A and B are shown apart, each in its own frame.
Chain A
Amino acid sequence: MGKLCILIAFLIGCTSAYSELLSRYKSPWQIIKIPAGLAYLFINGIASVIAYILVHKFKIADGNIVFQTVIAGTSALIILRSSIANIKVGEKTTDVGIAAILQVFLNAADRSFDQIRSDNELSKVSKLMENVDFEKAKLALPITCFNSMRNVPQDEQKQVSSDVEKLSKENLDNNTKAINLGILLAKSTELKLLEKAVSTLNASIINDGNKRTSSQQLEEILNKLK
């Protein structure tokens, strides 16, 4: 029974850490492929086990094994995220305490995940978007992607719209803008859905060299009127 409770406490710690990483990366399987991610889960799990041993040793909630296990699992999480002080060095504020140690693993997991994701996605997105006309796709593609999903938060959609609007105004060529539009959307919607959306919209967003976009037509009219 003791070993089972230790295992449950370990799993509580790991599960909580896993959900924290999942909220950051949204890719369930990638998390366990990153060494820093695994280390993060392990540290949280071990902390919960240590907490269980201490709870058991000091007879907290004695007699109630379930309560002891839950207390162990959750208290470890709180302690791991605590800091005894905040020190400002220049413009950066740093936590002093156990939270700082955990942050090191979290930062390492962030960097690893970004590296893996960017390696995987950049070449695929470039190939996917190479024939896409940015002007035609900048509204159609995001709308199609978000409409195909059920749970993209409104705030996230607004952030994407702000980024697309800024990208639209940048002095970059159409192809570069299209690739960056793809990268932006892949972060929110996953690459597979983006591929499906591009394939579905196809003719309406593809760069057709023979057909002028609205922007080109307006530019011609303005030149004519000058």
Chain B
Amino acid sequence: MKTSSFGGFIDGYKSSNIASIEGILLNKIGELVELLESAKELNNNGEEELTYFINKSLIVLKNKNKSDVIDLLITFGESLKLNISILSRSTGQVKEKVRKIIYNFVDAAKMSEDSTLINLAITIGSNY
């Protein structure tokens, strides 16, 4: 099988980038989980769609079977994008948690330098 003529560069760039920031991204995921759990408590008896989003996000982010931290964040980001209108309607302390969740997600995307994550973050941040 013929080797890719530029595969070495891509693989090297991605793996060295991920290796250096994997720990930081895992911490970010931990922070997102804490914020989501906090938002869930504050939203108790609140908006159903928001509760559904939070529960689904917690399942995604706590998924230890997924080894690629970028994949985890992309899945979470896609869900965030789909539910941005619901999140924008939140009020009070829940709104504050939502703002921090989005902030942490955008920050994680910036650190990852992954183009899919970055595009997601720009879309979410622009629409919030």
Task: Please report whether the interface of chain B is mostly helix, strand, loop or mixed according to DSSP.
Answer: helix
B-contacting residues, A110-150, CB 8 Å: 139, 142-143, 146-147, 149-150
Q: Give per-residue flags for B84-119: 1 if the beta carbon is below 8 A from chain A beta carbons, else 0.
A: 000000000000000100110011011001010011
Chain B 11-37 residues near chain A, CB threshold 8 A: 11-13, 16-17, 20
- The residue that B8 contacts in the complex, of A161, A214, A219, with Cβ under 8 A, is A161
Of A10-18, A40-48, A151-159, the one with at least 4 CB within 8 A of chain B: A151-159
Report how many residues on chain B are interfacial, defined by Cβ distance under 8 Å: 29
Residue of A nearest to B103 (CB): A225
Task: For the complex, give the distance between the alpha carbons of A218 and B119 in Å.
Answer: 9
A147 to B3, CA, bound (A): 11
Contact across chains for A155 and B8 when beta carbons are under 8 A apart: yes
Indicate whether A186 reaches chain B with its CB closer than 8 angstroms.
no
Task: Say whether B9 faces chain A, with CB atoms less than 8 Å apart.
Answer: yes
- The answer, yes or no, to whether B10 is at the interface (CB within 8 Å) is yes
Query: Can you offer 13 A-B residue contacts whose CB atoms are under 8 A?
Result: A139-B13, A143-B10, A146-B9, A154-B3, A154-B11, A158-B9, A159-B12, A161-B13, A221-B122, A222-B110, A225-B103, A225-B125, A225-B128
Which 7 pairs show the lowest CB-CB distances between chains A and B? A157-B8, A158-B12, A221-B125, A154-B8, A161-B12, A161-B13, A146-B6
